[in-house]
Structure 1
Amino acid sequence: MGKKGPKKIKDKSTKKLKTGLYHIIRKMFEQHPDALLNYKQVCTLLHVHESESRKLVVGLLRELETEGFVRKSGHETYIYSNQIETIEGELELTMRGSGFVTISKKEPDVFIAPHNLGHAIHGDVVRVALNKKGGSRPEGRVIEVVSRERTQFVGTIQMFDKHAFLIPDNTKTGVKIYIPFEKLNKAKNKDKALVKITVWPKSAEFPFGEVIQTLGGNSLHDNEMISILIGQGIPIEFEADVMNEAEQVTLELDPVEVAKRRDFREILTFTIDPADAKDFDDALSIRKLENGHLEIGVHIADVSQYVKPDSAMDKEALRRGNSVYLVDRVIPMLPEQLSNMVCSLRPKEDKFTFSAVFELDENGKMYNEWFGKTVIHSDHRFAYEDAQEILEGAEGPYKEELHILDKIAKIYRKERFKQGALMINSEEIRFKLDENKEPIDVVVKVSKDAHQLIEEFMLLANKRVAMFVGAPQKGKDPVPFVYRIHDKPDPEKIALFGLFLDKFGYSLEFTSPEKAAQSINKLLNDIRLKNEYSIIQQMAIRSMAKATYDTDNIGHYGLAFQYYGHFTSPIRRYADLMVHRILLECLENRPHKYNNALDDICKRISRTERKATEAERESNKYFQVVFVHDKIGEEFDGIVSGLAEFGLFVRMTENACEGMVAMQELPGDRYSFDEKKMTIVGQKTGKTFHFGDSVRVKISEVHPKKRQIDLELVSVAK
């Protein structure tokens, strides 16, 4: 033990010196771009005299040449190269400490080795110098952190003699932070704390920080949710200037503005939302016209009336990108004064809206459409369950109108699938919480007619707005727009999905993306009552590209729409607010303000959407663990939902929670994972485990911090 200590200290010291020298040498060449310098001259200029340090300089000059930062001009003589190839993108770290920088959907990700990360952390937007080496994939080194998404972290304080560190809860998205004693703000050893990075000197291995607050007074659930949010770089509270601006907005409508708008207050209008919703983005109106047709209005909260470009609220909404829905709380994109009150289309209140109004017959044929600013009065608020009961035959308000809308929605839905839309309904697990926010039941959300009614009319509005703005017009330049795009599936991923289906005895036709969609739909419809339905649907989703925001319209494969954007949820998505502003510019024939900024906005809101999705997934996993913590030792039936080299995942049928049977805990044999055959195989017995196998398991242990449920295998169904 005694011999290892000094070497470890020396290695750490060498690494620190190398990092410092790297940045100083770069700066020296940048400041003297015409200088021709060999390693001896560099050492003299930097006052480097020790042989070990001089060797570091030699190695660093060669590294900088490999990166293309300097180039040779004669034997071992270097000059600054302005031909260095750099790219900019978002850094995603792996659990092993290396990273990948995503540039665009058309370019391959750039691999960043751990020693080339510099001071970049997960989620940062970075500038990367591409290495001049050949190879199967591009590699690079981080040369600049362009923007840091996360500056605050939650973790545990670890005290030493003269300083302290914050050890982050999430070692992938966090970083160990050095905290001088004077910046502890009364935090003690092993305290849970929220810490902010204040500075990260280029020569320092760790960033410096200060304790913002200790979290000992919060409940365990609160601390875990805060940790999840901070880990994803999601702000928890609004700054004072944003709140001050929000508080200036009043509920009363300006009569001058009312007079400018199309008035729908005397036309039947209602909302259909989840029972616990507070932010009502959308409402539907319906009336019969004199010609026998129907006028159906899709009315959307007019957030753009109150949130003006470049205001404090607008900047904050862009920073957040979207609202985040955790199991026990909502982190809104806009302050509650707007999201739950001023903009929310609450019943029996006059509200400003931006509307898409359609003249249709009862078969859904469209005769006319109109877009513009309106004022509405919601006559009734339906929960989805209430509307569903009426659609299933119960008596209730506006029964006739609901059935008419349902009939048209079903026609549109059928037509979408006929055109090649994917018939995929991702399952949502919801928790019922008691007054202390403890989970007392699990509910798997099922999409019924009432949900699909709203979905189809929102899709109609989103599609028609995108067509109105984006469709080419003779003699006019294309209008810059925020499209919601979904690329066609990657043939390699589809092929892997095909191999996965082979294990169940199913096959699909993948000769074209269109055939793939039809084939997947038919399969999912055929197996919807079988045990493996949920797993196959999940794998189908994973084999698809992810939908994103972009100014380059490639269409939406999953919906089979050529034009599609997000118009219907501006309270909770910044994309929709941008679409409202651009649509208004088109309607008023005004110049478009956002030409150059839209690409960056699309990249940003696509990033914030991914963060929100990850936070929501992590929150769900945490509450799954909490829900079963008192069920240790109990047995449950389940389905094998995943296979990996470290074990098999099982989704328990009764509670929809997922746990893992570790590979070494599988009884009766020594097992290994066969990645090609997607099975776990016993080395002696040849016994195999497949996706979709019916098993019985026992909960052996739970780990809330790891979001993990440990299972023991009891038996396998014959």
Structure 2
Amino acid sequence: MKLDKDLKKLKEALVGSKSLGQEEITKILGWSLKLKKENREILQKWVTDGELMTNNRGKYNTPENFGFIKGEFSLIKGKFAFVDTPTEGIFIPRSGFGTALDGDVVLIKITKGADGTGKKEGEVVKVLKRERETIIGILQKRDNFGFVKPTHSFGRDIYIPKKYLSMAEDGELVMVHVDFWGDETRKPEGKIVETIGSPYDTDNMIKALILREGKSEDFPDEVVAEARAIPTVISEEEIQKRKDLRNLPIITIDGDDAKDLDDAVYVEKLSNGNFRLVVAIADVGHYIAEGSGLDKEAEKRGNSVYLVDRVLPMFPREISNGICSLNPREDKLVFVCDMQIDPKGKIIDTETYKAVIKTAHRMTYTNVNKILAREPEFVEQYADIKDMVDDMFELSKIIREVKYNRGSIDFDLPEIKVVLGEDKKVKYLKNRERGEAERIIEDFMISANEAVAEKLFWLEIPSVYRTHEKPDPERIKTLNETLGKFGYRLHSFEDIHPKKFQKIIEDSEERGINMIVHKMILMSLKQARYAMENIGHFGLSSNYYTHFTSPIRRYSDLLVHRILAMTLDGYPNKKEISKLNRELPEVTAHISKTEREAMKMEDESIKIKVVEYMMDKIGEVYKATVIGFSNKKIFFETEEYVECFWDITTARNFYEFDEALYAMVDKDTGKIYNLGDKIEIMIVRADLNMLEVEAIPNELHDEYSGKR
């Protein structure tokens, strides 16, 4: 801990300073002059970690003072990257990757925009810390050696000596452990540690994705054994310690195929006109001891990952689908947020406590929507809860109006749902529904998360908040230029309020251009993250927000449960407070990272199946919308929400992207393709290797000259 403080002190001394020698640094930090060797070792470690660099005279300074920047390498779609620092993200073209892989900590040199004119670009000059030592690629086998051509990010082939080829065959997808990362004279070298199979089998592609990201479907044997040793029967002694809510007709409402049911709800209209909203969440913390094998594995995973054809759960299924899942008509332990809400949507009282419940029904969104639609069969089948469902709908609309009035942004973007058959092939694509039942649960969970966050904030206890910062003025300026093509304008870039976006979104819905406008606004906003500092949630226009409602699938929620539990019988002691202050910064950074990884994996797994689905659609015509441009491409989205592109270099005419118009112009005919244009396109190529679908305007299909 002292060395961290010393490093911080040294960096402060080096701000705008010339480079310093070891003796000068020793004096500044108050180190002993007699411990020259030990002091040199500390400084060398800081150099290895990228905290310091040395010049040709052996003097030390920060990378920033030498013109370098340290950050985390984040790969985007395998085609470009950003290096993220605490204050900015710097664009890295593929040619500037060096040997960096997604998640590596790197040093970069700025190659463009260093003088403040235009966006910054850079190139990787050194990898400081490897996220992992393995790479996925396709084997090109020779008689006495082989090369593995990486499928993702890493730009150089990896040499494999004959003795390390294992039993892999030519053309197979393999995982390589890299022993030497290469230099100016030698290629990288490694050994094959796992053979995956055909690179064009989508099941293998998803397996490779899991391996590439360092994830696993399976748990260590000792963690599974720990899960199986947890008693499944709740003792009477434990029930006596809790509020007994088993008399309430509490219900779960989830998707048809959900198995990890971690939230249940109950609504009652009180005689004073207020509503009682009970949000009961699986009490995972009761079963998962802090520091146990289960806890460490869950922290490492950070969250469950929902791929297109499988789930990588945060806990073994004995926990996620069994002991903690709020299955119907079973006694279950829960952590409750019990709110009283007035008819105007104001929460006038909040209680948090441990309880035992027995859910009355395992409801699905489909069934609740059918009750609300007054379908006789479902109204009759669920007659015992029909009135409560109506009260839920009424309360949900009140909560929704409060969120709307304060400026909460409702990004009601269509989401693609890939429906697979038993053979794991795509049967069809459809829009993921977001009916009233889905909105009810969303509104209730947000209310509980806000109530818990506000309680913890005013108790002044170190905690985990779900934060969403205000967007960067520079990004809003760029967004404003694009929105201007649709007649919209943001008058202030500095202190922007989410309500301004809300009004633009509403108007775009009336004009039928909401999908493209939603996406542009969403891309201009920062990504939400976990942090100890409560700075509010911009997108929800909320002053207090956390994640409390999904501890089976998010480690953040389990942390919040543990912190909230400290307040049930008093206030945490100094030792507990100190422990939270010491540990939470690192944990919140880690779970923010695992969440980003999960999102990327989920998107890529869907893309794999979508591209496979489109492979036998070559020559078919679809209605589509123009959703974006690059200098050489127009991007479309079909009515089934499949993203594809047209490479204009394959066209007979000459096209040019007009930045001022933000449109693609046919310079031979004058025809203009604008954002939001509706056109018919023909699918001409679906490439599993590149994970892309190529199309062409149907009226030009006879002149297509690209590969099919």
Where 2:259 maps in the other structure, the secondary structure is coil
2:495 is aligned with 1:518:
no
Where 1:295 maps in the other structure, the secondary structure is strand
Deviation of 1:118 after TM superposition, in Å, equals 7.5
Contact 1:93 1:122 survives alignment (8 Å):
yes
Moved more, 116-125 or 374-383: 116-125
Q: Map 1:466-545; keep pairs closer than 5 Å.
A: 466-471=453-458, 478-504=460-486, 506-511=487-492, 517-528=498-509, 530-545=511-526
Query: 1:710 maps to what in 2?
Result: 694
Deviation of 1:412 after TM superposition, in Å, equals 0.9
> How big is each residue's C-alpha offset from its partner over 1:459-488, in whole Å with a ceiling of 9 and x where there is no partner?
0110011111112x5xxxx32211111111
2:647 is aligned with 1:662:
yes
Q: Map 1:287-326; keep pairs closer than 5 Å.
A: 287=268, 294-326=275-307
1 CA distance for matches of 2:121 and 2:683? 44
Where 1:382 maps in the other structure, the secondary structure is strand
2:230 is aligned with 1:244:
no
Match of 1:440 among 427, 430, 433: 427
Deviation of 1:495 after TM superposition, in Å, equals 2.6
2 CA distance for matches of 1:118 and 1:325? 31
Deviation of 1:517 after TM superposition, in Å, equals 3.0
Contact 1:88 1:103 survives alignment (8 Å):
yes
Deviation of 1:663 after TM superposition, in Å, equals 0.9
Where 1:594 maps in the other structure, the secondary structure is helix
The change in CA–CA distance for 1:382 and 1:115 in structure 2 (over 3 A counts) is closer
Query: 2:542 maps to what in 1?
Result: 561
Deviation of 1:173 after TM superposition, in Å, equals 5.9
Deviation of 1:79 after TM superposition, in Å, equals 3.5
Aligned-residue CA RMSD (Å): 3.4
2 CA distance for matches of 1:372 and 1:175? 56
> How big is each residue's C-alpha offset from its partner over 1:635-662, in whole Å with a ceiling of 9 and x where there is no partner?
1221111211121112122x22121111
> How big is each residue's C-alpha offset from its partner over 1:263-306, in whole Å with a ceiling of 9 and x where there is no partner?
21121110010111111110012346676754321011111122
Q: Map 1:317-356; keep pairs closer than 5 Å.
A: 317-356=298-337
2 CA distance for matches of 1:204 and 1:354? 60
Contact 1:364 1:411 survives alignment (8 Å):
yes
Query: 1:145 maps to what in 2?
Result: 128
Contact 1:321 1:574 survives alignment (8 Å):
yes
Contact 2:243 2:355 survives alignment (8 Å):
yes
The change in CA–CA distance for 1:480 and 1:202 in structure 2 (over 3 A counts) is farther
Deviation of 1:570 after TM superposition, in Å, equals 1.0
2 CA distance for matches of 1:199 and 1:343? 45
Q: Map 1:201-216; keep pairs closer than 5 Å.
A: 208-216=189-197
Query: 2:662 maps to what in 1?
Result: 678
Query: 2:74 maps to what in 1?
Result: 92
Where 1:528 maps in the other structure, the secondary structure is helix
Query: 1:124 maps to what in 2?
Result: 104
Query: 1:604 maps to what in 2?
Result: 590
Where 2:246 maps in the other structure, the secondary structure is coil
2:260 is aligned with 1:260:
no
TM-score (norm 2): 0.82
> How big is each residue's C-alpha offset from its partner over 1:164-221, in whole Å with a ceiling of 9 and x where there is no partner?
3332221x16874443433333222222223344676999956554433322389912
Contact 2:108 2:122 survives alignment (8 Å):
no
Deviation of 1:381 after TM superposition, in Å, equals 1.0
Question: Identity over the aligned pairs, expressed in percent?
Answer: 33
Where 1:539 maps in the other structure, the secondary structure is helix
2 CA distance for matches of 1:189 and 1:573? 41
> How big is each residue's C-alpha offset from its partner over 1:597-654, in whole Å with a ceiling of 9 and x where there is no partner?
211111111111111111111122222222222221111221111211121112122x
2 CA distance for matches of 1:515 and 1:144? 38
2:349 is aligned with 1:368:
yes
1 CA distance for matches of 2:685 and 2:107? 44
The change in CA–CA distance for 1:558 and 1:83 in structure 2 (over 3 A counts) is closer
> How big is each residue's C-alpha offset from its partner over 1:572-605, in whole Å with a ceiling of 9 and x where there is no partner?
1111111111111233422233211211111111
Which residue identity lines up with residue 387 of structure 1 in the other structure?
Answer: V
Structure 2 runs not aligned, ≥5 long? 1-20, 25-46, 701-708
How many pairs were matched up?
Answer: 639
Contact 2:199 2:205 survives alignment (8 Å):
no
> How big is each residue's C-alpha offset from its partner over 1:409-452, in whole Å with a ceiling of 9 and x where there is no partner?
11111111111111222321101211111111211123221111
Match of 1:585 among 544, 566, 572: 566
Where 2:516 maps in the other structure, the secondary structure is helix
Moved more, 244-253 or 173-182: 173-182
2 CA distance for matches of 1:672 and 1:140? 28
Match of 1:381 among 358, 362, 379: 362
Which residue identity lines up with residue 438 of structure 2 in the other structure?
Answer: H
2 CA distance for matches of 1:98 and 1:339? 36
Q: Map 1:60-139; keep pairs closer than 5 Å.
A: 69-71=53-55, 78-81=57-60, 89-93=71-75, 100-104=82-86, 107-109=87-89, 120-126=100-106, 135-136=115-116
2:142 is aligned with 1:163:
no
Contact 1:154 1:226 survives alignment (8 Å):
no
The change in CA–CA distance for 1:117 and 1:596 in structure 2 (over 3 A counts) is farther
Deviation of 1:335 after TM superposition, in Å, equals 1.4
2 CA distance for matches of 1:97 and 1:623? 20
Contact 1:317 1:574 survives alignment (8 Å):
yes
Query: 1:621 maps to what in 2?
Result: 607
Which residue identity lines up with residue 620 of structure 1 in the other structure?
Answer: I
Match of 1:235 among 209, 216, 229: 216
2 CA distance for matches of 1:228 and 1:657? 21
Which residue identity lines up with residue 675 of structure 2 in the other structure?
Answer: F
Contact 1:67 1:129 survives alignment (8 Å):
no
TM-score (norm 1): 0.81
Where 1:527 maps in the other structure, the secondary structure is helix
1 CA distance for matches of 2:642 and 2:92? 35
The change in CA–CA distance for 1:434 and 1:264 in structure 2 (over 3 A counts) is same
2:392 is aligned with 1:401:
no
Query: 2:399 maps to what in 1?
Result: 412
> How big is each residue's C-alpha offset from its partner over 1:290-342, in whole Å with a ceiling of 9 and x where there is no partner?
76754321011111122222222222222221111122111111111111111
2 CA distance for matches of 1:144 and 1:515? 38
Query: 2:446 maps to what in 1?
Result: 459
